[in-house]
């Protein structure tokens, strides 16, 4: 079984849409989406620099747009039927929800745009950020973080945990990291998936409640605890609540292994999730899609899975 995964914030890259915009259909989608959400996705996906798209309000819809474009190309010509399931990391859950049929792509983009703006506003009230902790003992980390005024935000598996909190506390933590760990700052502008985002949850919840949520037509796993969710409305509710709660991507990958996943394809902007899969799902083939040139390898993985089924 092949699963398709969609990356989260921090995966954004300058020029991420540029190679895809050579396709007239993609240009049409991007133009209509840009008008819908009031953000020039083509401009920010081609010409904006890394610091500009670090802005949460821009990064989130840009990442989802890139994922939707990639998914349409990957799953064309009946290939959607070869996919065994889908999941997204953090904001990537909006991409996954659209692929699974829970949300219309336009609703996913409208909702994630409101999420990005709400989280940006919440982040603006205090100087906070996030850092990746590589190595160490994950079990003892929460207690250490509490002593340092920080909190776990993403349990990513593969020896990686993302922590969040005030920027001064993050700097002190990096200067004196726990034993056998490395601490790397991330390109995000807030303490996402922590209590610092409570106001964003309150703002997004009524918007999400007004969106039509269909039950999924593909298996989909939640970041909340890694379980498969069969109710579209519950999946959307979990996405909203998770704005202020940790991502458990480690649990998602455990569910993949328990479900006999035989390959992982990561949508653009790819890299982070296939990297985690290579460490936590050893021996499972992975393909990351960054440009249209990566599509043949991803299609080949789907073809191999169908041939062996």
Distance (Å, whole) CA 276 – CA 282: 10
From 29, 44, 89, 193, the catalytic residue: 193
Active-site annotation holder among 90, 131, 248, 255: 90
What phi-psi label fits residue 90: left (phi over 0), alpha (psi between -120 and 50 degrees) or beta? Answer: left
Helix (H) or strand (E) holding 116: helix 105-123
Kindly give, in sequence order, each residue whose CB lies less than 8 Å from that of residue 25, ignoring residues fewer than 6 positions away.
none
Give the span between the Cα atoms of 10 and 186, in whole angstroms. Answer: 7
For residue 201, give Cα distances in angstroms to 50, 90, 141, 166. 27, 14, 26, 19
Cβ neighbourhood burial of 6 (10 Å; 0-12, 13-18, 19+): buried
Q: How far is CA 166 from the centre of its chain?
A: 23
Residue 89 is among the residues annotated as catalytic for this protein = no
* CA atoms of 246 and 148, how far apart (whole Å): 18
CA distances to 59, 77, 79, 96, 197 from 71, rounded to whole Å, are: 18, 12, 10, 9, 29
**Contact assessment for residue 24 and residue 285, using Cβ atoms and an 8 Å cutoff:** no
**Residues 6 or more apart whose Cβ sits within 8 Å of residue 225:** 248, 251
Catalytic residues: 90, 193
């Amino acid at each position: 079984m092949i699963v398709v995964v969609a990356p989260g914030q921090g995966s954004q890259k300058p020029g991420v849409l540029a190679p895809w915009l050579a396709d007239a259909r993609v240009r049409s989608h991007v133009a209509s989406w840009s008008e819908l959400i009031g953000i020039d996705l083509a401009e920010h996906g081609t010409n904006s620099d890394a610091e500009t798209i670090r802005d949460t309000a821009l990064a989130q819809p840009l990442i989802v747009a890139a994922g939707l474009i990639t998914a349409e190309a990957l799953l064309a010509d009946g290939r959607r039927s070869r996919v065994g399931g889908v999941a997204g990391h953090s904001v990537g859950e909006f991409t996954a929800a659209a692929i699974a049929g829970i949300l219309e792509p336009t609703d996913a983009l409208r909702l994630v745009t409101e999420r990005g703006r709400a989280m940006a506003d919440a982040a603006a009230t205090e100087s906070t950020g996030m850092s990746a902790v590589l190595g160490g003992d994950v079990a003892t980390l929460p207690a250490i973080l509490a002593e340092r005024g920080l909190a776990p935000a993403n349990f990513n598996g593969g020896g990686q945990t993302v922590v969040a909190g005030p920027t001064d506390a993050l700097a002190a933590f990096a200067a004196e990291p726990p034993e056998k760990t490395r601490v790397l700052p991330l390109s995000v502008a807030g303490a996402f998936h922590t209590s610092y985002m409570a106001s964003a949850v309150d703002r997004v919840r009524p918007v999400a409640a007004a969106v039509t949520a269909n039950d999924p037509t593909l298996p989909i796993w939640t970041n909340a605890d890694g379980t498969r969710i069969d109710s579209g409305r519950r999946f959307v509710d979990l996405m909203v609540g998770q704005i202020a709660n940790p991502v458990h991507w480690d649990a998602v990958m455990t569910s993949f292994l328990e479900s006999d996943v035989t390959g992982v394809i990561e949508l653009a902007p790819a890299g982070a999730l296939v990297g985690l899969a290579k460490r936590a799902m050893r021996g499972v083939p992975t393909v990351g899609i960054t440009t249209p040139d990566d599509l043949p390898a991803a299609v080949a993985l789907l073809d191999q899975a169908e041939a062996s089924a």
